[in-house]
């Protein structure tokens, strides 16, 4: 995640200030560290999670599952047809042929029935035990760093000062949407409204929900927090929510990368690697400058 910049006058020693595009120290070391720790953790959690999902590539709503219940909302599988084995994906009763990617995949002549293909899982071969070890290790890394970040951000005012949308931000929302639709970006020290909403949604909704549903699926945690399953509608519902949050995080990541490329990848990557960020020229008139992309 990006961190809001410090004052534009805070130019480091030996770094020449450009009158046209000032170079500012935008990302603190702690922000950069947590950003990459979260990115690495989510990467390994995603691929190991897909391996775990392959053990039972179906999702349900409710407390029970199996042949005696009609509560399947998502399934990946394979079936024999006149044309040979075919893979399929079923969403709310609507079936799609996904041979070669989901359900039935592998090298030509050596295909096999599996939910997600080998190139999308860790390990690439079927190993549920290893996948669970990797998944839980990075899950605890993500959880620990997120809790520390939340506490530190509450204490230093980062959440209140930089992430909480204000009334002015909401008034600027239509213009921010129009600017992003036209790929018109402005580089300043503050987050724009869409950034605040997107980052806030990930940090305060999606990641906590992923952690809570993950705990609800753990048999060992059921004895410690027995109310979680009932609160979420059962373990199968918690698993479905967990998977849905994963899909939303992947969608956020794709959009995040596209915005970085569109807004200027060198400047954006320099910011999250070194902390230094080049902003737009200062506005000297009475108009309120637009926020950055």
Nearest C-alpha neighbor of 280 from the set 199, 184, 144:
184
Cα 133 to Cα 77: distance, rounded to the nearest angstrom: 25
Express each pLDDT in 64-91 by its tens digit: 665 566 789 999 999 999 989 999 999 9
Nearest C-alpha neighbor of 91 from the set 110, 107, 72:
72
Contact predicate 84/49, CB 8 Å? no
Contact predicate 190/163, CB 8 Å? no
Q: Which residues pair with 103 in a beta bridge?
A: 114
Q: Which residues pair with 232 in a beta bridge?
A: none
3-class SS string, 15-78: CCCCCCCCEEECCCHHHHHHHHHHHHHHHHHHHHHHHHHHCCCEEECCCCCCCCCCCEEEEEEE
Express each pLDDT in 214-268 by its tens digit: 999 888 887 888 888 888 888 899 999 999 999 999 999 999 999 899 888 898 8
pLDDT at 98 (0 to 100): 96
Query: For residue 168, with 0-12 CB atoms within 10 Å meaning exposed, 13-18 middle and 19 or more buried, which class applies?
Result: exposed
pLDDT at 28 (0 to 100): 78
Domains and CATH numbers, the chain: 23-55+126-278 (1.20.950.20), 58-115 (no CATH)
pLDDT at 54 (0 to 100): 96
For every one of its 293 residues, what pLDDT tens digit does the chain have, with 9 covering 90 and above? Answer: 444 434 433 444 444 444 567 888 877 788 889 999 999 999 999 999 999 999 999 999 987 665 566 789 999 999 999 989 999 999 999 999 999 999 999 998 889 999 999 999 999 999 999 999 999 999 999 999 999 988 888 888 878 888 888 888 888 889 888 888 888 887 777 788 888 899 999 999 999 999 999 999 888 887 888 888 888 888 899 999 999 999 999 999 999 999 899 888 898 888 889 888 888 776 554 444 444 44
Percent of the chain at pLDDT exceeding 90: 45
């Amino acid at each position: 995640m990006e961190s809001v910049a410090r004052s534009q006058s805070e130019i480091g020693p030996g770094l020449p200030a450009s009158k046209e595009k000032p170079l500012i120290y935008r990302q603190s070391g702690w922000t950069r560290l947590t950003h990459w720790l979260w990115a690495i953790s989510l990467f390994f959690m995603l691929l190991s999670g897909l391996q775990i999902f392959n053990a039972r590539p179906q999702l349900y709503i409710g407390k029970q599952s199996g042949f005696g219940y009609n509560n399947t909302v998502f399934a990946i599988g394979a079936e024999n047809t006149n044309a040979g084995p075919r893979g399929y994906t079923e969403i709310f009763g609507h079936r799609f042929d996904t041979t070669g990617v989901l359900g039935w995949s592998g090298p030509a002549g050596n295909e096999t029935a599996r939910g997600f293909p080998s190139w999308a899982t860790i390990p690439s071969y079927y190993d549920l035990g290893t996948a669970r070890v990797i998944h839980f290790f990075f899950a605890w890394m993500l959880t620990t760093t997120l809790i520390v970040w939340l506490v530190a951000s509450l204490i230093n005012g980062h959440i209140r000062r930089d992430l909480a949308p204000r009334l002015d931000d909401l008034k600027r929302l239509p213009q921010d949407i129009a600017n992003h639709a036209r790929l018109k970006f402005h580089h300043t020290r503050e987050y724009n409204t869409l950034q605040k909403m997107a980052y806030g949604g990930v940090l305060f909704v999606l990641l906590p929900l992923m952690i809570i549903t993950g705990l609800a699926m753990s048999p060992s945690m059921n004895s410690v927090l027995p109310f979680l399953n009932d609160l979420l509608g059962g373990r199968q519902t918690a698993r479905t929510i967990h998977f849905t949050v994963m899909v939303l995080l992947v969608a956020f990541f794709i959009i995040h990368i596209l915005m970085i490329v569109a807004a200027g990848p060198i400047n954006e990557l320099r910011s999250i690697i070194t902390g230094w960020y080049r902003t737009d020229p200062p506005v000297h008139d009475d108009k309120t400058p637009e926020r950055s992309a």
